Amino acid sequence: MIKLLSAVVGLMVATAAHAEAPTPKTCPDGLPAETKCLAGQDQNGAWYWIAIPKAWNGSLVVHTHGGPRLKTPKPDDAIEDLQRFAVTVAEGFAWAGSNYRREGFGVRSAAEDSDNLRKLFWATYGRPKRTLLHGQSWGGNIAAKTAELYGQGADSKPVYDGVILTNGVVSGGTRAYDFRADLRAVYQFYCGNHPAKDEVQYPLWQGQPVGSKLTNKQLEERLNACTGFNLPAGQRSPEQARKLANILAVTKIPERTLDNHLNWATFTFADMVNKRLGGANPFTNIGVAYKGSDDDKALNKGVTRFKADPVGVRRLAEDSDLTGKLMVPTLTMHAIDDPTAFVELEQVLHDTVAKAGKSDLLVQSFTDENEHSKLATPEYAALFRAMSAWIEQGTKPSPASLAASCSEAAQRYGEACHFRIDYRPPALVTRSYPRAKPGLK
C-alpha cells in the first residue's frame, strides 16, 4: 500500500511538473482590490486562470464553465467566467477555471482538465482547507462528472469537499438534448430549408454533415425566412406566424431562445455526433406523438423519424450521464424559467440520486428568474456560505435557510434575491417527449 501511495503521489508531481507554471497576470475588472491573478497551460494544452483574494479564506473553488464552446480555446477565455462569478473571490475563495483542452462536446475530457487544474493548484500552493466544485450550465454536468470520476483520492478520502451546480445540465446527455432533436424534425417539417431541397440531404440527428460550410448567420437567415423570427410579430406573414406558432407549441421551447436551440441542434450536434461519438446516432423520435400544432395528425404522419444507434446512446451515456452516487454535500440552484437548461432537468437529478440512496447529500433550490448564464449575485454568495457551513459545522441547508442567507448577502451586493422555497420541478416528461432508448440500462 505504501508503494502504491508513493507511486500515485509521484505521478501527481510529475503531472504537475509537465504543466506550465502559473504566470502572474493583471486581474480583470470586477475583482476585489489586491487579488492575485495567475494563468498558464496544463500538460494537455488546456489554458487556465487562477485568482486568489488578499483575504483568502483558505478554500478553493474549481469552476467548470458551460457551453460546449465550439471555437478553439484561447489563453484568456476564462476571464469571462472569472468576472461573471467574481462573487466567489469576493466571498474569500480562491478561484480556478480551465478552458478545457479542446473545443466542443466531451464531458469526461473537460472533467479531467478540471481535475488536472485542481492538482496543479494543490501542487503549487498546497492543499487548501477545502476544495469545492462549481459548475454552471453545461459545466454543471462537468462538475458532477468530475466529482464522480475524481472525487476520491488514493487514500480513499474525498478530494472535493462539496459540489455546487447552478442552472446545470444535471440530467446527463442522454436526456438533456432530446427536445433539440425533436426541434430539428419539427422545424424541417414546417420549413423544409435545413437542409434545403437543393442541398445534400443528411440525417437530421447528425446536426450537419462533415465538411458543411453553413454559418450561424446563414442558419439565422433560414429561420427568419421561414418564421419571421427576427421580425416584429405584426410584420410576419400569416404563413410565417403559423409556422412559428406550431414550432414553439410542439417543441415547448421559449420563443426568445428558439434561434439558440436550433443553433445548438445544428452545430453542437454535429460536433457531438461526428467528432465525439464516431458518427453513431444517440437520438430517436420513434414513437413520439407530437402535440400542440394546428394539425397534429398531419405533423405526426409527415415528420421525419429516426432511430437511435445503441452504440451512440451508450457512448453518450458513458461520457455524460450521472450515477447519482454522491460522495460529498451537493447544492443545486436553478431558475424556474431557465430558457436554455430547463428546470425539469433537476427532477432527473433528484430521482437519480434517490435511486442511488444518496438523497441526504443533495439539496436543491429554485429561483423565480428567467435567465440562464448568471443569476443574482447574492444567491451565489448564499450557496457558498451554506456549503461552507454544511461542510464545517454539519448544518445542512434548506431552501428556506438559503433564502435567509441570501437576504443577508443582498445587503452587501445590492441585488435582490429570488428564491422560491416551496417550488418543486415537474417531471422532465412534461417538457420533453418521453421515448425508449436502445442501449440504456
Q: Quick one: which of 179, 107, 98, 99 has its CA closest to 140?
A: 107
Contact 173, 107 (CB under 8 A): yes
Given phi > 0 = left and psi -120 to 50 = alpha, else beta, which region is 156?
left
Coil/strand/helix, residue 147: helix
CB-CB neighbours of 32 under 10 Å: 15
CA 241 to CA 359: how far, in whole Å?
A: 46
Give the CATH number of the domain where residue 336 resides.
3.40.50.1820
Model pLDDT, residue 16: 42
Q: What is the mean pLDDT of the chain?
A: 95
CB-CB neighbours of 191 under 10 Å: 19
Do residues 187 and 336 share a domain? no
Do residues 126 and 15 share a domain? yes
- Domain assignment present for residue 438? The answer is no
Do residues 238 and 282 share a domain? yes
- Domain assignment present for residue 414? The answer is yes
For 363, half-sphere exposure in the C-beta direction (CA atoms, 13 angstrom radius) is 19
Do residues 181 and 279 share a domain? yes
Amino acid identity of 131?
Answer: T
pLDDT confidence of 174, banded at 50, 70, 90?
very high
Given phi > 0 = left and psi -120 to 50 = alpha, else beta, which region is 380?
alpha
Contact 226, 191 (CB under 8 A): yes
Do residues 23 and 167 share a domain? yes
Model pLDDT, residue 18: 63
- Domain assignment present for residue 209? The answer is yes
The total domain count for the chain is 2
Model pLDDT, residue 438: 87
CA 302 to CA 318: how far, in whole Å?
A: 33
Mean pLDDT of 2-16: 37
For 142, half-sphere exposure in the C-beta direction (CA atoms, 13 angstrom radius) is 29
Do residues 233 and 276 share a domain? yes
Q: Quick one: which of 147, 124, 141, 117 has its CA closest to 44?
A: 117
- Domain assignment present for residue 367? The answer is yes
Do residues 161 and 188 share a domain? no
Model pLDDT, residue 440: 84
Do residues 280 and 163 share a domain? no
Do residues 121 and 154 share a domain? yes
Model pLDDT, residue 441: 72
The distance in angstroms from the start CA to the end CA of the chain is: 35
Do residues 270 and 394 share a domain? no
Mean pLDDT of 54-70: 97
CA 103 to CA 364: how far, in whole Å?
A: 30
Model pLDDT, residue 11: 38
Tell me which of 310, 335, 364 is where a domain ends: 310
Q: Name the more confident of 46 and 6.
A: 46
Q: Quick one: which of 272, 287, 296 has its CA closest to 186?
A: 296
- Domain assignment present for residue 106? The answer is yes
Residue-wise pLDDT for 74-92, tens only, equals 999 999 999 999 999 999 9
Model pLDDT, residue 21: 85
Q: Which are the contacts of 250, defined by CB distance < 8 A and separation ≥ 6?
A: 182, 186, 290, 291, 292, 293, 299
- Domain assignment present for residue 435? The answer is no
Model pLDDT, residue 154: 86
Residue-wise pLDDT for 220-276, tens only, equals 999 999 999 999 999 999 999 999 999 999 999 999 999 999 999 999 999 999 999
Beta bridge mates, 135:
64, 165
- Domain assignment present for residue 333? The answer is yes
CA 257 to CA 427: how far, in whole Å?
A: 21
Residue-wise pLDDT for 176-191, tens only, equals 999 999 999 999 999 9
Tell me which of 289, 310, 331 is where a domain ends: 310
Do residues 214 and 133 share a domain? no
Mean pLDDT of 288-310: 98
Contact 397, 162 (CB under 8 A): no
- Domain assignment present for residue 347? The answer is yes
Do residues 167 and 131 share a domain? yes
- Residue 4 above 90 pLDDT? no
Q: What is the pTM of this model?
A: 0.94
Tell me which of 288, 310, 332 is where a domain ends: 310
Which grid cell sits at 181? Answer: 432533436
Q: Which domain holds residue 57?
A: 2-172+318-430
**Cell numbers 450561424 label which residue?**
216
Mean pLDDT of 322-350: 98
Which grid cell sits at 71? Answer: 471555437
